[in-house]
């Protein structure tokens, strides 16, 4: 042990005082780091984009979704990283009455298209004529009416308390008015922070800063280059390592540990991301007609093991609650029932399977790279409850048709005991997916289902968010009581970036990442 001398005591005291001073002065006089303007940011995008365009339509907002939507275009609202809806080009948005089927929007003034023209309500009305015909979430819009130069009214086919979320959907951008549905949006002229200067279909998009952008002093970057590396993650990561890319979006969580150890690499997870739905078909002869077997399976799956083994922990994976709700949603209610192997065995015995049960084959496709190990973990953990679960991987191509079979079950081509991936959305859209008429619920029916749908309808015309939250909580409770489907765990989207890339945040909806505030130090 070293001896305390006068010299060392004085030195220690000086060091302490210096540290105290710098901490005090540092906090009092610290200047916020101002974003630096200029520069080019090159990033690679790895997520599968099933609507990749071609030479004729690459600049259209419906194509190359992940690559252009939030760079070249804007919507009326935007869903933030916490899945809260906020205004974007809408200055004000409100229903006309408590039926919630007519909504008035006041549009932000002073917004310009990339060609310098002012955006008016006519452009929005014309854009929504396309969206309500083509966008899946906008089909509830019966019509629109221009009520002023900067105001618009939406007429819906039924009340929707969460209509602002519909307006945030990635397709629902504003484009210069055009009555021809085949031509509108083809020019690539939007209102976004960057304008398209080069478009190589499904491969590369180059943008330059739009000086007339409505957010003053943004964007910070002069140029943005997006390289599409769908299905070529290794190529993207090699590009990052060789310093060709400043960031790579949507990487496999399995690479996180390795990348975290690499120099000049920051791993940024989102608060959530897609989750897996295990569809439990309820056609004649299916074991899942019996709610006890559905519950037994839900009890037997070790969700924490999936989170731990497949995603490497809570930072990169989250636990589902057997509804389509995203774990990061403020209205998400955690599943109160933990894994209970004894209870699973008791339920199986009660259902006439005291010695365990062999379930039909569970099919999955590798829509995300981790799906193979995801189902291996499930297969192993349910064994403890006496459940034998054969699993089989199918190719992504044609998988949708394969798993859905015929909607008409009298043809004998039953829908399968199978997996699908779902993205995080608002409660209204998410919970509606468990309706009996949708394959993802395994065509669920019965009193529980009827109660669920009645609650959904009530929520859609309930303007008060707190009351809606209570309704949604009850709907989620029905899901983990009746187990129409099992949604054990989900992924957090992961991106990597260089330390000098600032303001680039990850998002549970990988298509909703914004580039306005991104800059390079």
- Residues at the contact surface with another protein, assessed by CB under 8 A: 42, 44, 50-57, 136-137, 139, 198, 200-204, 225, 227, 229, 231-232, 234-236, 238-239, 241-244, 395-402, 404, 407, 420-423, 425, 433, 438-440
Task: Give the residue with the Cβ less far from another protein, 56 or 376.
Answer: 56
Task: Give the residue with the Cβ less far from another protein, 211 or 408.
Answer: 408
- Dihedral, CA atoms, 184, 185, 187, 193, nearest 10 degrees? 150
Task: Give the residue with the Cβ less far from another protein, 202 or 379.
Answer: 202
Structural contact between residues 479 and 275, judged by C-beta atoms closer than 8 angstroms: no
Please report how close the Cβ of residue 423 comes to another protein at its closest, in angstroms. Answer: 7
Please report how close the Cβ of residue 320 comes to another protein at its closest, in angstroms. Answer: 16
Cα 495 → chain centroid = 14
Please report how close the Cβ of residue 438 comes to another protein at its closest, in angstroms. Answer: 5
Rounded to whole angstroms, how far apart are CA atoms 407 and 460? 27
Q: Helix, strand, coil shares of the chain as percentages rounded to 5?
A: 30, 20, 50
Other Cβ atoms closer than 10 A to 351 = 17
Task: Give the residue with the Cβ less far from another protein, 10 or 407.
Answer: 407
Give the residue carrying structure tokens 């330390």. Answer: 499
Other Cβ atoms closer than 10 A to 485 = 26
Extract the tokens encoding 122: 């006519």
Give the residue carrying structure tokens 């839900």. Answer: 298
Cα 73 → chain centroid = 19
Task: Give the residue with the Cβ less far from another protein, 211 or 397.
Answer: 397
Task: Give the residue with the Cβ less far from another protein, 54 or 211.
Answer: 54
Please report how close the Cβ of residue 425 comes to another protein at its closest, in angstroms. Answer: 8
- Kindly give, in sequence order, each residue whose CB lies less than 8 Å from that of residue 202, ignoring residues fewer than 6 positions away: 49, 52, 53, 54, 58, 64, 228, 230
Q: Is the previous residue joined to 287 through a cis bond, with omega within 30 degrees of 0?
A: no
Please report how close the Cβ of residue 173 comes to another protein at its closest, in angstroms. Answer: 17
Please report how close the Cβ of residue 435 comes to another protein at its closest, in angstroms. Answer: 9
Please report how close the Cβ of residue 204 comes to another protein at its closest, in angstroms. Answer: 5
Rounded to whole angstroms, how far apart are CA atoms 152 and 145? 6
Rounded to whole angstroms, how far apart are CA atoms 358 and 389? 6
């Amino acid at each position: 042990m070293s001896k305390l001398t006068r010299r060392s005591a004085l030195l220690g005291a000086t060091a302490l005082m210096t540290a105290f001073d710098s901490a005090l002065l540092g906090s009092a006089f610290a200047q916020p780091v101002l974003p630096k303007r200029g520069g080019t940011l090159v990033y690679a995008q790895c997520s599968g984009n099933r609507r990749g365009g071609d030479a004729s339509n690459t600049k259209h907002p419906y194509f190359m979704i992940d690559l252009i939507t939030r760079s070249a275009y804007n919507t009326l609202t935007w869903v933030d990283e916490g899945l809260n809806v906020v205004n974007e080009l809408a200055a004000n948005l409100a229903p006309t009455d408590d039926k919630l089927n007519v909504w008035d929007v006041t549009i932000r003034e002073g917004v310009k298209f990339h060609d310098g023209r002012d955006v008016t309500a006519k452009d929005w009305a014309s854009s929504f004529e396309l969206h309500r015909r083509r966008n899946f979430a906008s089909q509830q819009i019966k019509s629109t009416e221009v009520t002023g130069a900067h105001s618009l009214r939406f007429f819906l086919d039924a009340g929707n308390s969460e209509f602002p979320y519909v307006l945030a959907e990635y397709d629902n951008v504003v484009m210069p008015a055009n009555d021809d549905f085949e031509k509108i949006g083809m020019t690539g002229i939007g209102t976004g922070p960057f304008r398209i200067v080069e478009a190589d279909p499904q491969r590369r998009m180059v943008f330059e800063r739009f000086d007339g952008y409505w957010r003053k002093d943004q964007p910070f970057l002069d140029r943005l280059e997006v390289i599409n590396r769908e299905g070529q993650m290794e190529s993207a990561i090699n590009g990052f390592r060789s310093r060709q890319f400043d960031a790579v979006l949507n990487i496999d969580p399995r690479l996180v540990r390795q990348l975290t150890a690499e120099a000049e690499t920051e791993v940024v997870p989102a608060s959530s991301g897609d989750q897996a739905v295990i569809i439990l078909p309820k056609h004649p002869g299916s074991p899942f007609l019996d709610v006890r077997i559905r519950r037994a399976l839900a009890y037997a799956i070790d969700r924490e093991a999936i989170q731990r083994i497949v995603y490497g922990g809570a930072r990169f994976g989250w636990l589902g609650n057997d509804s389509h709700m995203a774990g990061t949603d403020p209205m998400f209610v955690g599943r109160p029932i933990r894994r209970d192997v004894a209870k699973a065995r008791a339920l199986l015995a009660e259902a006439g399977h005291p010695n365990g049960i062999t379930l039909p084959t569970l099919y999955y496709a590798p829509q995300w790279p981790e799906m193979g190990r995801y189902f291996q973990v499930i297969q192993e953990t349910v064994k403890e409850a006496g459940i034998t679960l054969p699993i089989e991987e199918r190719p992504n191509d044609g998988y949708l048709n394969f798993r859905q079979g015929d909607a008409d079950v009298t043809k004998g081509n039953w829908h399968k005991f199978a997996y699908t991936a779902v993205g995080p959305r608002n409660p209204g859209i998410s919970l509606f997916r468990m309706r009996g008429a949708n394959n993802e619920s395994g065509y669920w029916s019965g009193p529980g289902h009827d109660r669920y749908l009645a609650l959904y309808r009530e929520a859609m015309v309930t303007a008060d968010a707190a009351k809606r939250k209570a309704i949604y909580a009850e709907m989620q409770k029905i899901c983990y009581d009746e187990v129409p489907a099992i949604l054990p765990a989900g992924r957090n989207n992961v991106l990597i970036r260089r330390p000098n890339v600032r303001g680039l945040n990850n998002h549970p909806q990988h298509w909703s990442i914004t580039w306005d505030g991104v800059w390079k130090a």
